[in-house]
Amino acid sequence: MKKTVRLIVTEACSRKCSYCCNNLSTEFACAKRVNIEQFSAVGYDELVISGGEPMLVPTLVETIVRKYRLPTYLYSALYTRECKRMLNNRLFTGISYTLHEKFGLNDRYRFYRLQKDIQEMPWVSARLKIHPSVSHMNLGIVEKIWSRIDRRPFNDDACPLPENEQLFILST
């Protein structure tokens, strides 16, 4: 069995990134589409919560994470109060946060809050990915809190799934 299970909890997102993998349905040919009753993370070593934007459905995310209690990594671009609470309650082992194109004032504030909060949660493993259109901005990055900062260009082959992951898409 594959080591990691990656679950797209929602395909919905408030952003409209030009490079979004969700626009490339062929990229997810290997995915299994399931409903919440059919999904199981039993037998995997770790769980990755992805989207769309998972923080649009925080209650669903919390229900799934609490059910399996696996090392869990969140992929998000929307830092919210619910996300902070879940990080604080150690429901996530780590967060992979992306600063996307069309980065606005709200995004800047959320990023400020995230960095501030993570400094008080040393147990959180945090990775940052920055879109090239954002990387020239003065973001006030606190380098020491990020285990990895990825400034590489976003490209067309950014979507394929790592080999040891099983991908599920949750039907709503």
Binding site for ligand SF4 (CB under 6 A): 13, 15-17, 20, 22, 51-53, 77, 100
Closest separation between CB of residue 98 and ligand SF4, Å?
Answer: 7
Alpha-carbon separation of residue 119 from 2, 23, 85, 93, 161 (angstroms): 33, 35, 14, 15, 30
Closest separation between CB of residue 22 and ligand SF4, Å?
Answer: 5
Closest separation between CB of residue 29 and ligand SF4, Å?
Answer: 18
C-beta of 122 vs 153, nearer to ligand SF4: 153
C-beta of 12 vs 45, nearer to ligand SF4: 12
C-beta of 24 vs 66, nearer to ligand SF4: 24
Closest separation between CB of residue 75 and ligand SF4, Å?
Answer: 8
Alpha-carbon separation of residue 22 from 9, 51, 80 (angstroms): 12, 8, 22
| Beta strand 32-34 pairing with 165-170 | parallel
Spatial strand order in the sheet of 165-170: 32-34, 165-170, 4-10, 46-51, 72-76, 94-99, 125-130, 148-150
**What number of other Cβ atoms are within 10 A of residue 96's Cβ?**
19
Closest separation between CB of residue 166 and ligand SF4, Å?
Answer: 20
